[in-house]
Structure 1
Amino acid sequence: MANKLGGFLDLTASDLIGQYTELQKIKAGLGTQKVQQSTAAQDQALHSSDYTSGSEAISGGNAQVPGAAAAPASYWDRVPKPLLYGSVGLLGLGLVLKAIK
Structure 2
Amino acid sequence: MTLPKGSIVVLYRGYMDFARLYMLVQRECSFVVRAKDNLSFNCVHANPPDTKVGVYSDQTITLTGERSKKGYPEPLRRVRFYDAVSCLELVLLTNRLDLSALTIAAQ
* TM-score range normalised by the length of the shorter chain: under 0.3
More contact order relative to length (CA 8 Å, sep ≥ 6): 2
Relative to its length, the structure with more helix (as a share) is: 1
The two structures have a TM-score, normalised by structure 2, of 0.15
The two structures have a TM-score, normalised by structure 1, of 0.16
Relative to its length, the structure with more strand (as a share) is: 2
